[in-house]
Amino acid sequence: MNLAPFLYGMELHSVYDDGAFLSAEVAKIKPDDLLSSFSTGVTNLVALSLELNIPTAPAVPHMIVNAFKNVCAVSLESGYKLDVLEKA
């Protein structure tokens, strides 16, 4: 019968979105690329809100940790010692 393997497929040339034609490269975005872009945006948001001292949901845990570090640093620099540790 002389049959050979064959493959059917679709080749994308451009994308139409809301009146605009975009190149086919737009459709080749992978989920990992989207996740990476989102992660970069959240990182920038946290950095900005920490610098401006504006609490946002992603920045609040960092603010609490930074406050705890500051309290620990002040208590260590004060030279205060607990009597409980000296008696033990």
Residue 83: the pLDDT is 67
Q: Is the pLDDT score of 82 beyond 70?
A: no
Please indicate, yes or no, whether the overall pTM of this predicted structure exceeds 0.85: no
Greater model confidence, 51 or 86:
51
Query: What's the CA gap between 57 and 39, in Å, rounded?
Result: 14
pLDDT at 88 over 60: no
Give the chain as a DSSP string. -------------EEEETTEEEEGGGGG--HHHHHHHHHHHHHHHHHHHHHHT---TTTHHHHHHHHHHHHHHHHHHHT---HHHHH-
Mean pLDDT along residues 44-60: 94
| Domain positions in the chain | 30-87
Per-residue pLDDT, 68: 95
Rounded CA separation 14/11 (Å)? 9
